[in-house]
Structure 1
Amino acid sequence: MQEKKGDMASNNNNSSTKNPKKANLLDHHSIKHILDEYVSEIVTSRGYVEDVRMSNVRLLMGSIIIIIALVAQFYPKKFPENRDFLIVCILLYILFNGLLQLIIYTKEKNAILFTHPPEGSFNSTGLVVSSKLPRFSDLYTLSVASADPKSKAAKDPVEFTKSVTQWFTTDGILVEGLFWKDVEGLINDYAREPKKNK
């Protein structure tokens, strides 16, 4: 029954996108990008709404960094008159860049999608969907975990590791139905995974 749902969903998705998803099989970034995009589509099609707060924080930090650089570049006084001002700008630039990297390293890690809980769900936490595709490897790891692991509603994370060769044709076209089935199975595993008693 799940297979039929996955196939139907992938057929609906195919008709809306019209073009098959194609990757350069010699470029692992291209492969990971296509898989990650499609994972996001599958998760949001299950009723999970993307939580964009983390993206907004990154955009805000990036904007502040750009503004600091522009102010330093176009400050009306010339060097050496603006030396102290430039030192302050450089220190602020380093500080905000460091904060941005810290957020990416501690909060995002390998995350490709943060979500809110589905509407009408008893679950009070959303999901964090993460993926890995190491360089020079064909093994793609996808994991689903709670967005708030300390919550009482949080469930144990689940993951799978499979070769990308299972989902792509020799021309680099993603076989969406097969990939949909695997991702949907992982989400279902997470949904029914009981929380361990401590």
Structure 2
Amino acid sequence: MASSSAAKNSKKTNLLDHHSIKHLLDESVTEVVKSRGYAEDSRLSNVRLLIGSIIIAIALLAQFYPKKFPENRDFLIVCIGLYVVFNGLLQFISYTKEKNAILFTYPPAGSFNSTGLVVSSKLPRFSDMYTLTIASADPKSISANKPVVLTKSVTKWFTKDGVLVEGLFWKDVEKLIDDYNGDRKSK
């Protein structure tokens, strides 16, 4: 019975789909970081959702405006301009703030650290090398540590059947978190 429940709880992916592999690893990283006392900071996601909602509202307004085309020309020009501006803002946020980030956190409760973490990952197409980076959410803060990076082949964490060997993966991610936090102890 224990082996059947372990089989149900195992995380399996398609080893031929690098998006699927990266998604599973990113979810597992999020679990590890949260298990270490870091709460997720969803403010940036909420801002992106708000901007997306504004974009949808502008598009709906332009589509269902009561007047027909020649009469609503100026209104449509304003809507198109606003649509472009808000989409540009959304792309700017993605490009400058998010980059490859999979998780933003607050500092752990009760810690002396005043910054959370930015956890980012990369798994290039046609590559088996997964790169995980942990950095400070505010790199200019006095309590910010130097970013730490782990690059390892995904073949070290998966069986031939595509099952994630969570113990090995969690150990590597926890060691990376410890390396990031250990930087402060050596100062």
What TM-score results when the alignment is normalised by the length of structure 1? 0.88
CA deviations on 1:154-198 (whole Å, 9 max, x unpaired) are 00000110000111111111111110000000000000014998x
Q: Decide whether the 8 Å contact of 1:146 with 1:155 is kept in 2.
A: yes
- Structure 1 residue 166 and structure 2 residue 139: aligned? no
- Structure 1 residue 177 and structure 2 residue 177: aligned? no
Q: Could you tell me which amino acid in structure 1 is paired with residue 172 of structure 2?
A: D
In the TM superposition, structure 1's runs of 4+ consecutive aligned residues that sit over 3 Å from their partners are 194-197
Q: 1:97 aligns with which of 87, 95, 102?
A: 87
Aligned twin of 1:55: 45
Q: Decide whether the 8 Å contact of 1:156 with 1:196 is kept in 2.
A: no
CA displacement at 1:18 relative to structure 2: 4.5
Q: Secondary structure at the residue paired with 1:82?
A: helix
Q: 1:121 aligns with which of 111, 125, 129?
A: 111
CA displacement at 1:20 relative to structure 2: 1.5
Task: State the alpha-carbon separation in 2 of the partners of residues 26 and 70 from structure 1.
Answer: 40
CA deviations on 1:30-87 (whole Å, 9 max, x unpaired) are 1100000110010000000000100100100110011111111111111121111111
Quick check: 101-110 or 187-196, which moved more? Answer: 187-196
Aligned twin of 1:111: 101
Task: State the alpha-carbon separation in 1 of the partners of residues 119 and 101 from structure 2.
Answer: 6
Aligned twin of 2:66: 76
Aligned twin of 2:136: 146
Task: State the alpha-carbon separation in 2 of the partners of residues 22 and 193 from structure 1.
Answer: 34
Task: State the alpha-carbon separation in 2 of the partners of residues 58 and 50 from structure 1.
Answer: 16
**Aligned Cα root-mean-square deviation (Å):** 1.7
- Structure 1 residue 25 and structure 2 residue 25: aligned? no
Q: Decide whether the 8 Å contact of 1:51 with 1:115 is kept in 2.
A: yes
Task: State the alpha-carbon separation in 1 of the partners of residues 154 and 12 from structure 2.
Answer: 13
Q: Secondary structure at the residue paired with 1:135?
A: coil
Q: Could you tell me which amino acid in structure 1 is paired with residue 118 of structure 2?
A: V
5+ unaligned residues in a row in structure 1: which ranges? 1-13
Task: State the alpha-carbon separation in 1 of the partners of residues 9 and 85 from structure 2.
Answer: 44
Aligned twin of 1:189: 179
Q: Secondary structure at the residue paired with 2:69?
A: coil
5+ unaligned residues in a row in structure 2: which ranges? none
Q: Decide whether the 8 Å contact of 1:22 with 1:173 is kept in 2.
A: yes
Task: State the alpha-carbon separation in 2 of the partners of residues 78 and 154 from structure 1.
Answer: 56
Aligned twin of 2:57: 67
Q: Could you tell me which amino acid in structure 2 is paired with residue 142 of structure 1?
A: L
Sequence identity percentage:
77
What TM-score results when the alignment is normalised by the length of structure 2? 0.94
